[in-house]
Amino acid sequence: MTPGWALLAGVLVAAGLVSVAAGLRRSTPGLRAALDRVGAAGPVLEAGAVQRPESRSEQWGALLHRHLPLGLTARQRRALRLQDKSVAELYADKTVMAVIGAVLPALLGSALSWVLLGHLSPVPAVAAVLGAVVGFFVPDLLLLRSVAGSRSSALEALLVFVDLVTLERLANASAPQSLVRAAGLSQVPLFVQIRTALERASLEQQSPYAELRRLSETLELPELADIADVMQLDETGAALSGTLRARVRELRDAHLTAEQIKASADAEGMTIYMTLPAMAFGLILLTAALLQIVLG
């Protein structure tokens, strides 16, 4: 290794140690952030903000989240809530993928450099840095790709939730009791979010329907707000069982239509793969005939 590369490596190691020491140093929290955290509309409603990390990986992810300047977008937080996944888990996944992205290219590059050149080169170090950066953002891409599937699963869970609420209403339970009992029957992420919202409304002594509407806006699930509007009719003395069954039938038909349209689009997109073998056989036959004509 030349003196220049040795000096650069020493500078990078020193900078890394300084960055680690600065990141582990306790910082004074901002007053506005602390007030927002205890407020009703602050980050306490965000995914993973109130969940205490359990495993060591989640603890490391929570530490990384607190000290890294990179924040999460509203879409990412919405996807985390739909999957009932904490921010600490996401950052733990980012750490694991960053380590994998750094180690594999470094080992492969070192082996190739030793075999082809007979000595080590700085290329594996550059590949390790690039691999770590790419691996760090891979969980973000996977999370955003799962948004559509998470929303479809949440809508299906909502339909089951409405069926359970209808059964509770048929058992002569009140509207708030029906919501609470139905939400406590499953650990599906949407059920957990609804149960948390109802508990928050109960502790704050507020109407559960407003909290459900706020949750529907957070998750971008307007069907939940429709159910809250129907359940609020209980305050006027209206019969809810028939209305709930009619509404869940409409939602189920709309969801089935959307899934059929998506399946048709996927099937049409696969036609190109069905034509490739026919095109390959056609080229083989045409090539043989053209060669016979040209050479003959």
Residues 95-116: pLDDT tens digits?
A: 888 888 888 888 887 777 777 7
Residues 36-45: pLDDT tens digits?
A: 555 443 333 3
- Percent of the chain clearing pLDDT 90 (strictly above): 4
pLDDT at 42: 39
Over its C-alpha atoms, the chain yields an Rg (Å, rounded) of 28
Find out whether 114 and 120 touch, Cβ atoms under 8 Å: yes
| Cβ atoms within 10 Å of 248's Cβ, excluding its own | 21
Find out whether 144 and 75 touch, Cβ atoms under 8 Å: yes
Res. 26 pLDDT band, cuts 50 70 90: low
Q: Where are the domains of the chain?
A: 151-264
Instruction: Look at residues 141, 152, 169 and name the one whose alpha carbon lies nearest to residue 231.
Output: 169
pTM for this predicted structure: 0.62
pLDDT at 43: 37
- pLDDT above 80 (res 196): yes
Residue 118 C-alpha from the chain's centroid: 45
The C-alpha atoms of residue 255 and residue 223 are separated, in whole angstroms, by: 11
The C-alpha atoms of residue 242 and residue 162 are separated, in whole angstroms, by: 12
Contacts of 159 (CB under 8 A, 6+ apart): 248, 251, 252, 255
pLDDT at 194: 92
**What value does the mean pLDDT take over residues 186-195?**
89
- pLDDT above 50 (res 55): yes
**What value does the mean pLDDT take over residues 132-160?**
85
**What value does the mean pLDDT take over residues 146-161?**
85
Find out whether 105 and 131 touch, Cβ atoms under 8 Å: yes
Of 282 and 184, which is predicted with more confidence?
A: 184
Q: Tell how many helices (H) and how many strands (E) occur in the chain.
A: 13, 0
pLDDT at 37: 53
